Structure 1
Amino acid sequence: MKKSSNRRSAIKNIITGSVAVAATPLIPSFASCATGSNTMKGNINHSVCRWCFDGLSVEELCVEAKKMGITGIDLVGPKDWPTLKKHGMVSTMCNGAEISLVKGWNDPQYHATLIKNYTEHINLVADAGYKNLICFSGNRNGMDDATGLKNAAEGLKKIMPLAEKRGVTVIMELLNSKVDHKDYMCDKTAWGVELCKMIGSENFKLLYDIYHMQIDEGDVIRTIRNNSAYIGHYHTAGVPGRHEIDESQELYYPAIMKAIVETGFKGYVAQEFIPVAKDKLGSLKKAIEICNI
């Protein structure tokens, strides 16, 4: 009882004290994290996902993104790489080898097609001078996680020698199965990390999508710190809704970016939110400023 009383007293003191310091916030606001300019601090390599700004051509997105200090574009296939090169931009997460999000490496019936596709694309990615190629687990369809791990590892191991030889990292995306991708198997960091361990190659990593993992497991910063060795790429978006990463949603991205930097991460963080503001490029610029820690 005494402990409960002390707890109530402490809370009362905190509330009373908070009135006195209300004019001096303890945590910097999102707005205060903005640089107000295009000056990049160099701690984060910034990218943006192509599909989120499909109202712009690839050329237009390159031009506008470059103005903001963004150096790469995610989820761009080979046909658009010449446009990126024209503007000095990097294809930071290449795609085009996958069958779909639901038909992936956890199901052996797709292995022959996937091995063929990824063999071709690993060479395409390497020849273009790029580094990352996305892949997906596929849906469970009644399959247990252990069987899915075994199947995915067996299939992926067949392309890893080529990936290692060509200097390409094959990266599996973590997606939530609660809201957006029902039944997707690689929906928890622990499953993805176990797959990385089973494959045993530095050229196989995870795409830690902050939006998706906040929905399915939370504890984002601790998870990033504990599993940084297995993460090769990051995606952002606001929760809930997958919209702007500003103060309208529940995640505090400056702290998340700081945690990423503290792990020694040298890859890319790609904005993958769907802007709802009228000024969509303004939303992208603000997101870059928030993450420019």
Structure 2
Amino acid sequence: MKNISRRTAIKSVLGGSALLAASKLSAHAPGIARTEDAKLKGNIRHSVSKWCFGDYELDEFCKICKSIGIESVELLDPKDWPVVQKHGLTVAMAQGAGLGIDNGFNDPALHDELIKSYEEVIPLVAKAGLTNLICFAGRRNGVSDEEGLENCANGLKRLMPVAEKHKVVLTMELLNSIGHKDYLCDHTVWGVELCRKIGSPNFKLLYDIYHMQIMEGNVIEHITQYHEFFSHIHTGGVPGRAEIDETQELYYPAIMQALVKTGYKGFVGQEFVPQQEDKIASLKKCIQICDV
């Protein structure tokens, strides 16, 4: 099955019918939501990536998430944070700084521009009462893993004083380098070594289970061994980034149980692309699967 990237999937999601979206919104309006939907166990803090549900207006999507018991809608720019917060939700992983997935801290020529961007957004994250701000390594562009490690560390160390001052955690996402061709931060151990090299509690990793299953597997082992370096977790079915159910190769209840056992207190963000026609039913199902 062809891997679906964030960039390609969002285009197809946004291409959905507005009429279909409206009908689904009315079907899942919070006023008619069952009260038991929000009765979750509390061991996992649930979040969801909005880009996977692009045909829903953010305001209405927040109402739906609230009715399900989800605490956060994530991967949103500063202009969208107030919309989420007015519903009593948070943004567990903020975005809005940087130059995208491909152009990251691996390229020293981009450091000044990246640093300027992050120095502008970090105070906004703090002012909004948020914590995590996403960043990326970028493509390898012919450099070795060792050189890339040095490049990223050199650039990110320049940002640690402002991140520490504002109590914001810069969080680099681990991505597969097949769908995101040539991406540098594509193995857990490399990312952990970068954390150690930077040496600040304000730099951590976004451990994306979907991407790391593609690249290396051993998901429970890596969570158990390296959880202290993770500020956020993403889900997604393999193959194809579909629902995290019996159609794919990972058993998420065991993964979530292992995560809880570590004492992890961050969020778990659903980042699957719904394949079912009823996308909200898919979201509810996947939240329940992770609610151990």
Give me the TM-score of the superposition, normalised by structure 2.
0.87
SS in 2 for 1:212: helix
Q: Deviations over 1:43-92 (max 9, x none)?
A: 00000001000010110110001111001011011111111111111011
SS in 2 for 1:248: coil
Change in Cα spacing, 1:85 to 1:38, as seen in structure 2 (3 Å) is: closer
SS in 2 for 1:94: coil
Please state how far the C-alpha of 1:133 moved relative to its aligned partner.
Answer: 0.1
Instruction: Tell me the matched-pair count.
Output: 257
SS in 2 for 1:93: coil
Matched, 1:271 2:265: no
Change in Cα spacing, 1:37 to 1:89, as seen in structure 2 (3 Å) is: closer
Q: Deviations over 1:159-198 (max 9, x none)?
A: 11111111100000000012x1110000000110000000
Query: CA–CA distance in 2 between the matches of 1:102 and 1:257?
Result: 30
Q: Which residue of 1 aligns with 2:241?
A: 242
Alignment of 1:1-293 (within 5 A): 37-178=37-178, 180-293=179-292
Give every structure 1 segment of 4 or more consecutive aligned residues whose post-TM-superposition deviation is greater than 2 Å: none
Q: Which residue of 1 aligns with 2:16?
A: none
Query: CA–CA distance in 2 between the matches of 1:54 and 1:98?
Result: 22
Change in Cα spacing, 1:52 to 1:257, as seen in structure 2 (3 Å) is: same
Query: CA–CA distance in 2 between the matches of 1:112 and 1:150?
Result: 16
Please state how far the C-alpha of 1:37 moved relative to its aligned partner.
Answer: 4.0
Contact 2:37 2:67 in 1 (8 A): no
Give, as a single letter, the amino acid of the residue that structure 1 aligns with 2:150. K
Query: CA–CA distance in 2 between the matches of 1:37 and 1:150?
Result: 47
Contact 2:111 2:155 in 1 (8 A): yes
Query: CA–CA distance in 2 between the matches of 1:131 and 1:100?
Result: 20
Give, as a single letter, the amino acid of the residue that structure 1 aligns with 2:176. N
Please state how far the C-alpha of 1:38 moved relative to its aligned partner.
Answer: 2.8
Give, as a single letter, the amino acid of the residue that structure 2 aligns with 1:254. P
Query: CA–CA distance in 1 between the matches of 2:38 and 2:246?
Result: 21
Query: CA–CA distance in 1 between the matches of 2:246 and 2:134?
Result: 30
Query: CA–CA distance in 1 between the matches of 2:234 and 2:151?
Result: 26
> Please, which runs of 5 or more residues in structure 1 have no aligned partner?
1-35
Give, as a single letter, the amino acid of the residue that structure 2 aligns with 1:105. F
Query: CA–CA distance in 2 between the matches of 1:216 and 1:66?
Result: 34
SS in 2 for 1:48: strand
Query: CA–CA distance in 2 between the matches of 1:152 and 1:60?
Result: 38
SS in 2 for 1:243: coil
Q: Which residue of 2 aligns with 1:20?
A: none
Query: CA–CA distance in 1 between the matches of 2:37 and 2:111?
Result: 48
What RMSD over aligned residues (CA atoms) do the two structures have, in Å?
A: 0.8
Please state how far the C-alpha of 1:146 moved relative to its aligned partner.
Answer: 0.6
Contact 2:187 2:212 in 1 (8 A): yes
Contact 2:233 2:269 in 1 (8 A): yes
Query: CA–CA distance in 1 between the matches of 2:228 and 2:269?
Result: 19
Give, as a single letter, the amino acid of the residue that structure 2 aligns with 1:74. E
Query: CA–CA distance in 2 between the matches of 1:65 and 1:233?
Result: 19
Please state how far the C-alpha of 1:141 moved relative to its aligned partner.
Answer: 1.0
Please state how far the C-alpha of 1:40 moved relative to its aligned partner.
Answer: 1.1
Query: CA–CA distance in 2 between the matches of 1:61 and 1:176?
Result: 28
Query: CA–CA distance in 1 between the matches of 2:63 and 2:160?
Result: 35
Q: Deviations over 1:111-140 (max 9, x none)?
A: 011100100111000011100000000000
